Amino acid sequence: MKENRSSADAVSVGSVKKTKVRPDRGKTKKKSFGLSRRDRKMALYTMPYMLPSILGVLTFFMLPFTVVIYYALIDNNSSANFVGLENFIELFKNAAFQKALRNTGMFSLTAVPLAVVLSLLLAILLDRQIPLRSTFRTIFLSPMIVPAASIILIWQVMFDYNGIVNEVIAVFGMQPIEWMKSDHGYIVAVILFLWKNIGYNMIMFMSALSAVPKDILEVAMLDGCGTVKRFFMIKLRYLASTISFVTIMSLINSFKVFREVYLLTGDYPYDTMYTLQHFMNNTFQGFNYQKLSSAAIVLALAMIVIIAILLWADNRLGRDLEE
Amino acid sequence: MTDIKLDLSTRAQAVRPRRRKIKWVHILSLILILAVLIGFAVLFLFPTVFTVTNSFMSATEISANYGKIFTGLGVSGDGGRVYIGEKVNLQLIPDKVSFSQYSTVLFKSPEYLLKFWNSVFFVLPIVVFQLAVAAGASYAFARVQTKFRAIVFFVYIILMLMPYQVTLVPNYIVDSYLGILNTRWAIILPGIFSPFSVFILTKFMRRIPSAMVEAAQLDGAGEWRIFTSIFLPLCRSTLYSVAILVFIDYWNMVEQPLVLLTDAEMYPLSVFLSKINEGDTGIALAIAVIYMVPPVLLFLYSEDYLIDGISYSASVKG
């Protein structure tokens, strides 16, 4: 009884003292795992509400994924002999897969950090009282809305050999570049990716920045903490979990740059623009289930490992804020 | 309490002599920041604005300006196409505003417009049914937390974070097993059960105070009543945000149609546009603009909802 009252008190002043609510909330959560009779009844009654979703996810994602695992372990669908990891070894020996993996990996390694840093920079610049603030926000978010297919023509005009980008760099005394048919295609992909994704990331950072407790910042300012120091010592700590989430989202979106590359250059682009999705598409056309399945599994595992690392880093960084 | 206040005021006084200098620095930095922001804004707006203005050029003006680029793509050699300029001439404002491209698209050759409807018939059912399915699931996730549900929710998050290169393979296998490959359903059905909206809606619904639910239960409300009279009304703006995010995502889809459809006639405009580009640049520009209209209108009309939706999605943790 006494405990109940104290938790109710904590909730009522929750907006003022956040730290006090947390341990209580954790406790109630833990209790409900123990399944009281009332909870069990509620779980039963609400089950029909989640049933469509669970059945759908099972049918279209989880069950077929077990089939994917099965396909990855057999030699072919008709004779179905168990071959262990042979398909995976084969896959890693495949030149097209190597190329796709290397390109996508390289692309993500440059584009994702750039996207995170640039969008954080824009969010910081907008995190103050400036004229036209919401107009800027709208403008930076607008590329996310525009379908990739709609502006492909413009990218073609810009990055053509006779296009404006070459004219601009000619002003600086540089030689014109065959953007789409050389190693520079990779730069085009990075630019297209940044253009499309920075706005989305920026919004996440803006909302995280506005959630940094103002009183802490004020105290720091009065103690003579400069803007730069305030950012690195205080704001960055509160941004840690957003940074890791934005990194994860950018990573996932970096696989979608295929869209722009495909719309620009078709099924078989120049070597450095051949992404994993190109590889998958071409494998789909060849109906090679073994190659497809093992590639999907390799990718899924890679994603899980990367996400786990990012979440772990986030936990380490954010831990001292919880107390 | 008063002690602290006194302390602050004395500090403020001590700082005062430096105020003037700081103000100048402040104004200068503001100008610098605005300059950077305006520079970025121009870069961000340029491609979209350019597409829109150029769609009002006549066919001859377009081939005069960009013929050099686009003749190389579809037609070999001269291919009967006339181009005048040696260099590509990027022109923001057309010499003469012409609606000829639009009239061609809308009246003379409506086959492109049919592809627009392809897109609509893909995206609308996905948005509506994904929200319906997700609202129910999120309600169950938010009402009671059990071990089973915690595991299922975790699986949903993992699934949400998987790129198409992973999820399309299982989708393809089921679609071919069900015999719906190369039909509309091949894309719509997996789209409906995409866990993304479950994730955001659950996060929002978990914030609804349990006291409200308990009060309703005391008044004799059943689960359905609580769901429709408390949860759904409270989530209305979140539902709207999620709908916009899902709409934008599927309106822009490229990967799914390429893999799950073999018949190019069924392609939504988001894929088909690249095929027009090779033929007729002017028409492609006009269609590109028409294709932009629904998401852009939606965006201008409900930007705040979109921003709320993005902010909600901004963390994996509850």
So where are chain A's domains? Answer: 2-73, 90-322
- For chain A, what is the mean pLDDT? 82
- A170 part of contact set with chain B, CB < 8 Å: no
The dihedral sign for the CA sequence B212, B214, B220, B223: positive
Return the higher-pLDDT residue of B174 and B109.
B174
Quickly state the pLDDT bin for A323 (edges 50, 70, 90): very low
* Closest residue of chain A to B22, computed from CA coordinates: A226
Measured between beta carbons, the chain A residues lying within 8 angstroms of B309 are: none
Interface test with A, best of B15, B231, B310 (most A CBs within 10 A): B310
- A261 part of contact set with chain B, CB < 8 Å: no
- B185 part of contact set with chain A, CB < 8 Å: no
pLDDT tens per residue across span B51-64: 888 888 877 777 77
CA distance B100 to B63: 14
Task: Inspect the interface and report whether the beta carbons of B37 and A136 lie closer than 8 Å.
Answer: yes
- B215 part of contact set with chain A, CB < 8 Å: no
Do B192 and B130 meet the contact criterion of CB atoms below 8 Å apart? yes
Task: Inspect the interface and report whether the beta carbons of B316 and A245 lie closer than 8 Å.
Answer: yes
Classified as helix, coil or strand, A74 is strand
- Provide the CATH number for the domain formed by A90-322 in this structure: 1.10.3720.10
Instruction: Measure A39 CA to nearest chain B CA, in Å.
Output: 7
Q: What is the pLDDT of residue A315?
A: 79
Instruction: Measure B32 CA to nearest chain A CA, in Å.
Output: 10
Measured between beta carbons, the chain A residues lying within 8 angstroms of B298 are: 145
- B9 part of contact set with chain A, CB < 8 Å: no
Q: Look at the block and give the residue holding tokens 């915690």.
A: B150
Q: Is the pLDDT reported for residue B81 higher than 60?
A: no
Which of A170, A194, A196, A166 has its CA nearest to residue A180?
Answer: A166
Interface test with B, best of A33, A140, A145, A291 (most B CBs within 10 A): A145
Task: Inspect the interface and report whether the beta carbons of A199 and B51 lie closer than 8 Å.
Answer: no
CA distance B194 to B133: 10
Interface test with B, best of A27, A51, A150 (most B CBs within 10 A): A150
Task: Inspect the interface and report whether the beta carbons of B258 and A262 lie closer than 8 Å.
Answer: yes
Q: Is the pLDDT reported for residue B114 higher than 90?
A: no
Task: Inspect the interface and report whether the beta carbons of A149 and B50 lie closer than 8 Å.
Answer: no
pLDDT cut 70: percent of chain B above it = 83
Quickly state the pLDDT bin for B277 (edges 50, 70, 90): low
Q: What is the pLDDT of residue A27?
A: 46
Average of pLDDT values for B167-191?
92
**Facing residue for B33 by CB, picked from A130, A149, A256:** A130
Q: Is the pLDDT reported for residue B158 higher than 70?
A: yes
Average of pLDDT values for B287-300?
91
**Facing residue for A61 by CB, picked from B170, B313, B316:** B170
pLDDT tens per residue across span A13-50: 334 444 444 444 444 444 445 667 877 888 888 889 99
Return the higher-pLDDT residue of B318 and A73.
A73
Q: Look at A102-111, A151-160, A313-322, B109-118 and tell me which has the smallest mean pLDDT.
A: A313-322
pLDDT tens per residue across span A154-209: 888 888 777 778 888 888 888 888 887 788 888 889 999 999 999 999 999 999 89
DSSP secondary structure letters along B80-141? T-----SS----SS-SS---HHHHIIIII-THHHHHHHHHHHHHHHHHHHHHHHHHHHHHHH
Which of A110-114, A133-137, A248-252 has maximum average pLDDT? A110-114
ipTM above 0.90, yes or no: no
Q: Is the pLDDT reported for residue B41 higher than 60?
A: yes
DSSP secondary structure letters along B174-235? HHHHHT-TTSTHHHHHHHHT-THHHHHHHHHHTTS-HHHHHHHHHTT--HHHHIIIIIHHHT
Find the angle CA(A167)-CA(A169)-CA(A171) to the nearest 5 degrees: 75
The CA-atom distances, in angstroms, between B36 and each of A22, A119, A135, A193, B32 are 41, 13, 14, 20, 6
- A233 part of contact set with chain B, CB < 8 Å: no
**Facing residue for A50 by CB, picked from B88, B136, B269:** B136
Torsion angle, CA of B238/B240/B245/B247, rounded to 10 degrees? 150
B16 CB-side CA count, 13 A: 7
Quickly state the pLDDT bin for A98 (edges 50, 70, 90): very high
Q: Is the pLDDT reported for residue B72 higher than 50?
A: no
The dihedral sign for the CA sequence A257, A154, B58, B277: negative
Task: Inspect the interface and report whether the beta carbons of B169 and A144 lie closer than 8 Å.
Answer: no
Return the higher-pLDDT residue of B133 and A152.
B133
Q: What is the pLDDT of residue B6?
A: 45
Task: Inspect the interface and report whether the beta carbons of A311 and B316 lie closer than 8 Å.
Answer: yes
Do B53 and B285 meet the contact criterion of CB atoms below 8 Å apart? no
**Facing residue for B165 by CB, picked from A56, A142, A296:** A296
Q: Is the pLDDT reported for residue B47 higher than 60?
A: yes
Q: How many CB pairs under 8 A join A and B?
A: 293
CA distance B310 to B292: 20
Task: Inspect the interface and report whether the beta carbons of A153 and B139 lie closer than 8 Å.
Answer: no
Q: What is the pLDDT of residue B278?
A: 58
pLDDT tens per residue across span B2-36: 444 444 444 545 455 555 566 788 888 889 999 99
Q: What is the pLDDT of residue B76?
A: 35
- For chain B, what is the mean pLDDT? 82
pLDDT cut 70: percent of chain A above it = 87
Q: What is the pLDDT of residue A81?
A: 83
- A282 part of contact set with chain B, CB < 8 Å: no
